[in-house]
Structure 1
Amino acid sequence: MDTPKANRLHIAIFGRRNAGKSSLINALTGQDAALVSSEPGTTTDPVMKAMELLPIGPVVFIDTAGIDDQGELGQLRVERTRRVLDRTDLALLVVSPPVTDLSMEEGWLAELRGRGIPVVGVFNKSDQGELPVQWVSGRLGLRLTPVSALTGDGIQELKAAIQEAVPEGWEMRTILGDLMEAEDLVLLVAPQDVQAPKGRLILPQVQVMRDVLDHDGVAMMVKTGELRGAMELLEAAGRRPDLVVTDSQVFHLVKDLVGPDVRLTSFSILMARYKGDLRTLVEGARAVDRLVDGDVVLIAEACTHHPLEGDIGREKLPALISEMSRARLEFRVVAGNDFPRDLKGFSLVVHCGGCMLNRKHMMSRIMAARSQGVPITNYGVLFAKRSGILDRAVVGLI
């Protein structure tokens, strides 16, 4: 249950208002995870519920507003529902009686299939009598599982259908397990500056450490100031790191202390490989050399936080990119779910490591940039380029 949401299979539930989507989540989770009412439009914003769905494992169910919501406010809710598609690994499309018009369901099903998202059909409210399941299934070209979220009938069959539709290999990705052998020593250099949360490590550092342990490696973590002493201790013991992973912002310090013959990369580069398309992000970093006066650069953060003095996205990166390009540039910073759909006004997108996004969500942003011809890169890739070690930092990763 401690699995981060970004590492869980994201299952989104779509359907009309009052189709029983929230009741269905409650039936699947076995608890009152979503607010239920007979009044249409109870769910206004996407609601996420993390749980363990055996035998699949850790998942996130996403309850959404009705796809038939009306009015100006209703259309805004539908747009928020549509944004959920960016992070959906698997979709449940819910139909319930009375069935008179399936045009909306057909439209959403076409969009889901167009995005390559597996879809499980659900005909809810089977307790209300005989349902036209076969007719609706034939009309949509989608097998539907009849269920009653009220009585629980068909819920086990629905869980089996969900298990069958899980995208193959979604849980098989590793952050760095394929880069190491058992008993390899991985040295993690984690600077703790004013931006670091008090009393804990940031998520990428924790995830990388756990991945090392999961693959029977030896994880050793130090701060930047203790790196020299750690290297001396290892040398005295006749051991050297098989891989060094550091924060991208201190590449210039770490590369000299560990030497040129030790494999070196960063937490954010590993996350870029784990969550997205590293090759595209490396190509995007090279676009900095083509920036000219007046170009606009978008800096995108996956999470929201209170910016402090020296904030990486608002201060360090703009200064770095301006120095690298030698151009007078404009910068726009967005956070959380405010990533714009229209990117054509930007000459470059620089994204954070995306540790708070699932792979589907991160890839949707990368694909949006690629489809609009806008180069996109990642914090760590850009810092590696600035430090002159980009090729070294991605060797064996692409």
Structure 2
Amino acid sequence: MSLTDTPSASRLHIAFFGRRNSGKSSLINALTGQDTALVSDTPGTTTDLVSKAMEIQGIGPCLFIDTPGFDDEGELGELRISRTLKAIEKTDIALLLCGDTFSHEKEMLALLKEKNIPVIPVLNKIDIRENSDSLATYIEEECKIRPLLISAKEKTGIEQIRQAILEKLPSDFGQQSITGELVTENDLVLLVMPQDIQAPKGRLILPQVQTIRELLDKKCLVVTCTTDKFSATLQALARPPKLIITDSQVFKAIYEQKPKESELTSFSVLFAGYKGDIHYYIESATAIERLTESSRVLIAEACTHAPLSEDIGRVKLPRLLRKRIGENLQIDMVAGTDFPQDLTPYSLVIHCGACMFNRKYVLSRIERAREQHIPMTNYGVAIAFLNGILDQIKY
């Protein structure tokens, strides 16, 4: 498998924050050994988030994120700063490049700490600074962390950064499992995977691929079929599957046909735990009972694909909700990173499995909902609840 085969959502997200012309782009280029980010002596060269997927020895797959300077000015500058602040939501580890006064950096440090993001302060350009040691001491007094002294241009101190990243690595990073303790070696697992318009001919969708790979790593016995071949596949097996993983859209049909001894879940439910907070999702699903036709629901999807016929988020889930609540139920749809800061107009948020987002970003959305006392669940959990089988679903 090549480095680029690891999905960005599964990589450690390392973001670089600092003033304009502080050397963020140069540092990324030094760390990657490539001209990943545009470098210029002109402040404000980086105008949008720039990402580079890489592999760091001892850490594994990472995603470096270069952000615009947080001291930018003017109307366009404010837009760039908003992009920088949005990057915080998906950051696992932050590298903070420090300047001579440390005023803007102090504000950014406080914001990063508020979000519980590990911070590595860096003092760049020591090859041309005459006051590096005294400035480092000042920064240490201000933020209680000694900055790393480096020169991106001369590639001095780069190994120190790698070691610092290792030390700041979140304790649970890489420990998340899609299937958890649901299956072990030699368990028979049947995956029911509808190949419809959302999975064009010749392709599998990302959650299916990642789940199959994990099951193979666990040395499970893996069988796959499409929905219409589910019954025939069961008949061909020597024993009932330990676990059946299906697409949430066909939850009810598979539940009604499955062997009693087989446990049932869905890709979306599994990813609810893998990417987010499954317990909050399940607790929040009960909010569906309290919805009325005057309620407002937000459906959030990570992907930004064009609307498809019988799309689960735009068509099938709204249809199920309105069948249960009433045709006048107001449902709003957002996609990609377009997620409202203010969730209070909504009685419920329903999120997709978020296979395209890293866990940090999904948890930041859940935290926003919690803070505003808005219930938030996900596609699979909501569909299981609407079909009256949530208590029968494993996670």
Give the TM-score, by structure 1 length. 0.96
Single out whichever of 191-200 and 142-151 deviates more from structure 2. Answer: 191-200
Q: Is the 8 A contact 1:284 1:375 kept in 2?
A: yes
1:1-398 equivalence runs, <5 A:
1=3, 2-96=5-99, 99=100, 101-130=101-130, 131=132, 132-234=135-237, 237=238, 239-326=239-326, 328-394=328-394, 397=395
Shift of 1:384: 0.8
Q: Is the 8 A contact 1:177 1:212 kept in 2?
A: no
Q: Is the 8 A contact 2:188 2:241 kept in 1?
A: yes
Q: Is the 8 A contact 2:240 2:261 kept in 1?
A: no
* 2-structure distance, mates of 1:134, 1:218: 58
Shift of 1:177: 4.3
Q: 1:323-357: per-residue Cα shift (whole Å, max 9, x none)?
A: 12236211111100101111011111111000001
Q: Is the 8 A contact 2:298 2:331 kept in 1?
A: yes
Secondary structure of the residue that 1:205 maps to in structure 2? helix
Q: Is the 8 A contact 1:177 1:215 kept in 2?
A: no
Q: 1:348-393: per-residue Cα shift (whole Å, max 9, x none)?
A: 1111000001110011111111110111110001111122210111
Single out whichever of 124-133 and 369-378 deviates more from structure 2. Answer: 124-133
Single out whichever of 162-171 and 202-211 deviates more from structure 2. Answer: 162-171
Q: Residue 10 of structure 1 aligns to which amino acid in structure 2?
A: H
* 2-structure distance, mates of 1:363, 1:194: 29
* 2-structure distance, mates of 1:17, 1:178: 47
Q: 1:7-56: per-residue Cα shift (whole Å, max 9, x none)?
A: 11100010000000000000011111111111101111111110001110
* 2-structure distance, mates of 1:15, 1:326: 50
* 1-structure distance, mates of 2:165, 2:312: 41
Q: Residue 112 of structure 2 aligns to which amino acid in structure 1?
A: L
Q: Is the 8 A contact 1:127 1:148 kept in 2?
A: yes
Single out whichever of 137-146 and 107-116 deviates more from structure 2. Answer: 137-146
* 1-structure distance, mates of 2:240, 2:253: 18
Q: Residue 369 of structure 1 aligns to which amino acid in structure 2?
A: A
Q: Is the 8 A contact 2:295 2:330 kept in 1?
A: yes
* 1-structure distance, mates of 2:284, 2:391: 14
Secondary structure of the residue that 1:112 maps to in structure 2? helix
* 1-structure distance, mates of 2:102, 2:150: 19
Secondary structure of the residue that 2:176 maps to in structure 1? coil
Secondary structure of the residue that 1:319 maps to in structure 2? helix
Shift of 1:259: 2.6
Q: Residue 40 of structure 2 aligns to which amino acid in structure 1?
A: S
Q: Residue 37 of structure 1 aligns to which amino acid in structure 2?
A: S
Shift of 1:216: 1.2
* 2-structure distance, mates of 1:202, 1:93: 36
Structure 1: gaps of 5 or more residues? none
- Root mean square deviation, CA, Å: 1.1
* 2-structure distance, mates of 1:280, 1:129: 50
Secondary structure of the residue that 1:219 maps to in structure 2? strand
* Count of aligned pairs between the two proteins: 389
Shift of 1:129: 3.4
Secondary structure of the residue that 1:28 maps to in structure 2? helix
Secondary structure of the residue that 1:179 maps to in structure 2? coil
Secondary structure of the residue that 2:219 maps to in structure 1? coil
* 1-structure distance, mates of 2:200, 2:273: 24
Single out whichever of 18-27 and 288-297 deviates more from structure 2. Answer: 288-297
Structure 2: gaps of 5 or more residues? none
Q: Is the 8 A contact 2:240 2:259 kept in 1?
A: no
Q: Is the 8 A contact 1:5 1:50 kept in 2?
A: yes
* 2-structure distance, mates of 1:193, 1:260: 28
* 1-structure distance, mates of 2:27, 2:67: 12
Give the TM-score, by structure 2 length. 0.96
* 2-structure distance, mates of 1:174, 1:263: 18
* 1-structure distance, mates of 2:285, 2:167: 39
* 2-structure distance, mates of 1:342, 1:291: 19
